[in-house]
Structure 1
Amino acid sequence: MTEKRKGARSIKDIPDDILEQLNRGEIETANLTEWLAVDQKVLLENLLLQNDRPEYLDPVLENVNQLKKTTVNTVNEAIGITLLDLSIQNQDENFLSKLSVHRADLVRCWAAYATGRDPAFDIKTKLKAIQSFASDSHFGVREICWMAVRPDISKNLTESLLILSEWTKHDDENIRRFASEATRPRGVWCSHINELKQNPGLGLDILEPLRSDPSKYVQDSIGNWLNDASKSQPEFVTEICDEWLRESPTKETAYIVRKALRTIQKEKLKNK
């Protein structure tokens, strides 16, 4: 069965029949190589034809073709936001609902952007709506969904941190990880949150409950969060790490601290 495929190591090694199924939205991508190989324009056209909305194609492609920088993420964002605009114009909410549970992971990514950028949602509603994407079984959807809602998290930082601090208690490691990853001061492929760069202590209600999390997925994110913060507030990060090692002498905390201090350690070696 294709569900348990490992996926090819390079795009040229993806079998033609697998690539066709991916571009028709019939299966999920198995790894990052496949994720990068999908032609989102072809997938979009197939999706719209399958759902009797061919008239949506040209407006979406027009926005995609106007992108100054074309990457998987920028195309993903452009498609998701334009589909949101079209669904609002045409009062077509059912269509977006279908996309959020579509079998193709990249289609669910579009739905995540549509949810994260919906102007009708306040931050509380938006985070509640994005949680199903945060717990998605596919890595691509989980990465896209925090990027989709991050601008609103940044604009509504105090309320967002309060809401997300509750997510740190969730049974699902993916949801706990979202709370950390979505609020990283610097993050990856996204705008920085200057308030957290200057005052990372604001994020302690998220970081503290996860300082000895059993999930490596969460541990990596917490370590990276603090490493981000160390680039502008190294003393804060050093103090927190020292405190954690004293109060939480576990292998999980030790692993997080090593990741958190890597930039500080590198600077120390450089200055010797």
Structure 2
Amino acid sequence: MSGKRTGNRVEDIAPARLALLNSGAAEATTLTECLAVDFAALMRATLPGIGEDAAVIMESAQGTGISKRMVLAAALVCDPLGKGAIERLQVHPSDTVRGWACFVIGAAQDMPLAARLEAIRPLADDHRFGVREWSWMAVRPHLAADLDQAIVHLSKWTKAPSERLRRFACEAIRPRGVWCTHIGALKQHPEKALPVLEPLRADAVPYVQDSVGNWLNDAAKDQPGWVRALCARWIAENPDPATARICKRALRSIDCKS
């Protein structure tokens, strides 16, 4: 297994492959590759104009978690690149660099929520899964801070032709989520998110179905009765295989305890 891209350890990544990732010439194809990228080396290779000091700071943070390093990288590149930072980073061949663009958008000051969502939209629709995950993580604090307006905006995304955008609408406001702070208001009042959940209850794409099911599974940990009642209503009103799949996923934690 050593040296194969399908390995589950950083040590399994071939040196030539790692060099491509660190140069910005290749995209990560697995979580292992994503975690293996040397941010300082990538910064030097792709953005030499921002100065060596930024790379040295990035180098000193190599031992910290990847989420914190994404935020730091965005902060380090934003000032030197100025107003063109988002446009330059979001079209880069490296998915990690495009991930930095997500956090530049997340950190932007005085950006209305509607404008922030519009800015993140291309990255939420990125062809790489990792960039799409960074996109919602980067703006989630702003969605949670203005939840009512976030739900209004995201309810419109549920009608998007792209399943990636439909999935973002749901995933970005999961009550518990993954690698992120919980949204207390939705843990206590999951019904607030129905304008987003209802349009997706029979989505034809498993990628979206899984997100809706996971959203409801999150909610079931705090409001199991509400989730049971909602799933019962959905199945009664819409006996569709997609809805059945969503509800099975939604109820998995409750059913395990039964």
| TM-aligned CA deviation for residue 55 of structure 1 | 4.8
| TM-aligned CA deviation for residue 113 of structure 1 | 0.5
Select 2:58's aligned residue among 48, 57, 61: 61
Specify whether residues 56 and 160 from structure 1 end up closer, same or farther in structure 2 by C-alpha distance, changes over 3 A only.
farther
> How many matched pairs?
254
Select 1:258's aligned residue among 243, 248, 256: 248
| TM-aligned CA deviation for residue 263 of structure 1 | 1.3
Aligned to 1:101: 91
Aligned to 1:112: 102
**Structure 2 counterparts to residues 178-189 of structure 1, below 5 A:** 178-189=168-179
**Structure 2 counterparts to residues 149-228 of structure 1, below 5 A:** 149-228=139-218
| TM-aligned CA deviation for residue 59 of structure 1 | 7.4
Return the TM-score normalized by structure 1: 0.88
What residue ranges of structure 2 are gaps of 5+ in the alignment? none
SS of the aligned residue for 1:217 comes to: helix
Aligned to 2:33: 34
| Residue type at the aligned position of 1:260 | A
Deviations 1:172-217 (A, max 9, x none): 0000000000010110100111111100000001000000101111
| Residue type at the aligned position of 1:16 | P
| TM-aligned CA deviation for residue 58 of structure 1 | 5.1
Aligned to 1:3: none
Query: 1:81 and 2:75 equivalent?
Result: yes
- Please list every run of at least 4 consecutive aligned residues from structure 1 whose deviation after the TM superposition is greater than 6 angstroms: none
Mapped contact 1:146–1:181 kept (Cα < 8 A): yes
Mapped contact 1:48–1:57 kept (Cα < 8 A): no
| TM-aligned CA deviation for residue 13 of structure 1 | 2.8
| TM-aligned CA deviation for residue 83 of structure 1 | 2.5
| Residue type at the aligned position of 2:39 | Q
CA distance in 2, matches of 1:105, 1:230: 34
Aligned to 1:47: 46
CA distance in 2, matches of 1:243, 1:95: 47
Aligned to 2:225: 235
CA distance in 1, matches of 2:186, 2:85: 37
SS of the aligned residue for 2:217 comes to: helix
Aligned to 1:249: 239
Return the TM-score normalized by structure 2: 0.93
Mapped contact 1:77–1:113 kept (Cα < 8 A): yes
CA distance in 2, matches of 1:216, 1:32: 21
Deviations 1:3-29 (A, max 9, x none): xxx933233232221111110001111
| TM-aligned CA deviation for residue 140 of structure 1 | 0.6
CA distance in 1, matches of 2:146, 2:251: 29
Mapped contact 1:116–1:148 kept (Cα < 8 A): yes
Query: 1:125 and 2:115 equivalent?
Result: yes
Deviations 1:75-129 (A, max 9, x none): 1122113323x24xx7x22243211110000000001000122113111100111
Mapped contact 2:5–2:14 kept (Cα < 8 A): no
Mapped contact 1:60–1:83 kept (Cα < 8 A): no
Calculate percent identity across the aligned residue pairs.
41
CA distance in 2, matches of 1:37, 1:46: 16
CA distance in 2, matches of 1:122, 1:81: 19
Mapped contact 1:124–1:163 kept (Cα < 8 A): yes
Mapped contact 1:8–1:34 kept (Cα < 8 A): no
Deviations 1:122-163 (A, max 9, x none): 111001111111000001100011000000000010001000
SS of the aligned residue for 2:64 comes to: coil
| TM-aligned CA deviation for residue 60 of structure 1 | 4.5
Q: Structure 1 stretch 134-143 or stretch 117-126: which is displaced more?
A: 117-126
